[in-house]
Amino acid sequence: MHKLKDLLQRNREVLRLLLYLGLYCVIALLLHLPCPILWITGISCPGCGITRACLSLLRLDVAAAVYYNPSVFAVILAAVLLFISKKKKTKNTILAVTACIMLTVYLYRMLFSHAPVLRFDPANGVVGR
């Protein structure tokens, strides 16, 4: 019990971030809110589809998760590693590697695979109007 309490104490920031992200996802799903980045710019962000991918994984639909955003597996692994890591330098490395993976997957999907989940329509963003 002492180890669990110590682990939770060390990872307050990660738990807080996960709580806020989870809360935002629930509110966005219930109110059908669009992604703020897509709404402002008209361009999907590297995290586009992560929420739907996580929900698909909860339903054990791996194919749908990959369809929505293949980097969901890196994000989940990073969340686990961030939770168990002790050193700030290790946590920063995990975040940097995960960001690189997400950007690589995003660029591939935008430039080569033309994933139907992603949108590139700057004229329909708030900035473009």
pLDDT tens per residue across span 10-47: 777 777 877 887 888 788 778 777 778 888 898 998 98
For the chain, the residue count is: 129
Token digits of residue 60: 């054990």
> Using an 8 Å Cβ cutoff, are 114 and 44 in contact?
no
Mean of the per-residue pLDDT values of the chain: 86
Mean pLDDT across 58-77: 95
Per-residue pLDDT band at 1 (split at 50, 70, 90): low
Residue in 32, 40, 22 with CA at minimum distance from that of residue 122: 40
Residue type (1 letter), 51: T
User: Side-chain half-sphere of 6: how many Cα atoms within 13 Å?
Assistant: 5
Compute the distance between CA of residue 78 and CA of residue 99 in angstroms, rounded to an integer.
10
